[in-house]
Structure 1
Amino acid sequence: MDALSRLIQLAQLQGNLDVRCQFAGGFAVDHAEAPRGEALFHLVLDGGCAIEPAGEPSLDMQAGDLVIFPHGAAHLIRDRRGQRRTAPVRVEHDGLLPLRRNGDGAPELDLLCGRFRYAPASASLLLYTLPGTLKVSLRDTAGMEALQALVALMRHEAGQRQPGALAVVTALTHALFALALRAYATGDVHGLLPLLADARLGGAVQAMLAEPAHPWTLEELGRVAAMSRASFARHFGERAGMTPGECLARLRMQIAGDLLLRTRRRTGDIGQDVGYQSEAAFGKAFRHYMGTTPARFRREHTREEEHI
């Protein structure tokens, strides 16, 4: 399994569609901050709008644009003209989803709105390192034919409303998230995801994920990346914003957290699975990176994730 797929798996990601919006004229719809463990998203099927994240510049959204709020930030969706008079919004049903409309004529905006639910305790490397607002524009993203095709398919299914359409579109949201992260990773950004897009450095991350218990050294990881020890350490730090050792430790904690929640195995055995020879050493490292003991983490987050 490739590294990005593994991180998505660890996050226990689930995509859900909430509502379809078709607006014309003046409109302004507030979205409150989402609960912990939810990343809100909006996909413009047709037309355009402005989206104003709290405390950030306004985003101009056009057909094919996707915006994700990885941390569930509050935001406003409005018409581009910023009209002060807004028509009341009513809720109908289009045979696929609840439908919000503010008129009976041709809509100027056709928008799919939903959320990605994830296990907060198991998603820190994937979600928490992302910016507060992540926009992917098909017009600006070269080489993203797959993303364009996916959006076209979602638009088609939402428009035709054939039997099973909701199941198809909901399933496609999972792929939409993965492709959006892939597009983000290829930009001029720093963090774990850009490492995965790097032809050589990505192989080192893949190796760490595949064998977290291995006592990886800079020399070994450098060989995986076809670099010298010094060159590997320098390029890794510049791209990721962390050392290879810190990245390995965080990956180990991510995997350990997942095992603590999904299994009833002893913490000492889980610690050995991720490279710690003693339960005490594992517990110390876990407290450092996760802020709590393995036992308390299992107890508290098992209860929490039962409600996700």
Structure 2
Amino acid sequence: MDPLSYILSGLRIRTANFTRMEASAPWGIRSPSGRGVNFVLVVRGSAILWTPDSRQPIALRGGDVFIKLDDTPYRLYDHEDSTLIDCVDVEKLRVGHEIEIGGGGAVTTFVAGSFELDPLEARPLLQTLPALLHLKLDQQRSLAFQSVLEMLAVETASPGLGSEAVVSRLFELLFVHAVRAYAAQPGGPTVGWLSAMGDRHLAEALKAMHGAPAEDWTVESLARAAGMSRSSFAARFKAVVGKAPLDYLTQWRMYCATRLLHQGKLALSEVSRQVGYESVAAFNRVFRRETAMTPGAFRKAGMEGNAHIHPA
């Protein structure tokens, strides 16, 4: 199983909500900082997006999608001179899942949504993705991705029985295809495991260690999996991934361990074995070094809903 499939297999959308908005010119929205993942699909029309980290405003057109993975505020408007309305005041105009704002001019239609991801399950993805994904409508967009966007537009335009559940599932697919699109587009990931998956040699080594984290991997055996010499593999891996091969392996093992501990079904000795440590003491030592918690404390915190780990 490739790393993206493994990560996504445990990823579940939580507290999802959506809005279909008809914005007629002139219009402008000021969104405060907030938790979770926020996205906007421009169904038709055009808009301008501003974020604190943008070097300049971003032009959006029909078919474009942007996804914000951090909690910084943003502004969305039709023209830089348009008056901005706080989202709190915009919410007062809601009727069901629909909102209409603006001055009666040219109309831009959006589907906006937000959802939360388990920070533990999503950690490897959130570490490698930028805070803002802007995915333009172009000829490179996959038919599957476009189909998800079209289904999302249709479902939010005419909600039926079970619409909230349907939209939640579409959010999951949207997120998967957005990650795929980002990884494939020019100027996509340049450092990290997602970037390495685009290198046919490094990808084989990553698949090997992700598929069998308990294996007694060495730099030599990983280089063989990659079809490279030891020195060339070690140098390229660190340049692309940003970590030495065995350091990355340790980080991945600890991620797998946190997922197993979070599930709470296995004894510590079995968790240790499944991530490559015959000795529970050795596993405890590495886990504490990488996460600043003992496995037992992490499991207890997870049962109480307070599990967290420090960035590696």
The TM-score, its normalising length taken from structure 2, stands at 0.85
Q: Is the 8 A contact 1:14 1:116 kept in 2?
A: yes
Larger CA deviation: 112-121 vs 165-174: 165-174
Residue 238 of structure 2 aligns with which residue?
237
- 1:153-168 matched pairs, under 5 angstroms: 153-168=151-166
Q: Deviations over 1:77-96 (max 9, x none)?
A: 22234313769745343xxx
Q: Is the 8 A contact 1:45 1:110 kept in 2?
A: yes
Aligned residues: 300
Residue 278 of structure 1 aligns with which residue?
279
Which of 168, 182, 185 is the aligned partner of 1:184?
Answer: 182
Q: Letter of the 1:144 partner, please give it.
A: S
Residue 256 (structure 1) shift: 0.4
Larger CA deviation: 273-282 vs 105-114: 105-114
- 1:182 aligned counterpart, secondary structure: helix
Residue 30 of structure 2 aligns with which residue?
30
Q: Is the 8 A contact 1:14 1:174 kept in 2?
A: no
Residue 262 (structure 1) shift: 0.6
CA gap of 1:85–1:123, structure 2 versus 1, over 3 A, is closer
Q: Letter of the 2:93 partner, please give it.
A: V
- 1:102-113 matched pairs, under 5 angstroms: 102-103=101-102, 105=104, 108-113=107-112
Partners of 1:72 and 1:129 lie apart in 2 by 16
Residue 16 of structure 1 aligns with which residue?
16
Q: Letter of the 1:125 partner, please give it.
A: P
Residue 51 of structure 1 aligns with which residue?
49
Residue 257 (structure 1) shift: 0.3
Residue 73 of structure 2 aligns with which residue?
74
CA gap of 1:301–1:33, structure 2 versus 1, over 3 A, is farther
- 1:1-308 matched pairs, under 5 angstroms: 1-14=1-14, 16-35=16-35, 38-57=36-55, 58-84=57-83, 89=90, 90-93=92-95, 98-103=97-102, 105=104, 108-139=107-138, 142=140, 144-186=142-184, 187-188=186-187, 189=189, 190-304=191-305
- 1:174 aligned counterpart, secondary structure: helix
Partners of 1:113 and 1:85 lie apart in 2 by 17
- 2:66 aligned counterpart, secondary structure: strand
Partners of 2:263 and 2:195 lie apart in 1 by 28
The TM-score, its normalising length taken from structure 1, stands at 0.86
Q: Is the 8 A contact 1:20 1:110 kept in 2?
A: yes
CA gap of 1:85–1:290, structure 2 versus 1, over 3 A, is closer
Q: Is the 8 A contact 1:23 1:110 kept in 2?
A: yes
Question: Cα RMSD between the aligned structures?
Answer: 2.6
Residue 310 of structure 2 aligns with which residue?
none
Q: Deviations over 1:44-78 (max 9, x none)?
A: 11112122223433222211211112223322222
Q: Deviations over 1:129-187 (max 9, x none)?
A: 32121211122x72533322322232233334455554433322211111111121224
- 2:93 aligned counterpart, secondary structure: strand
Percent of pairs identical after alignment? 28
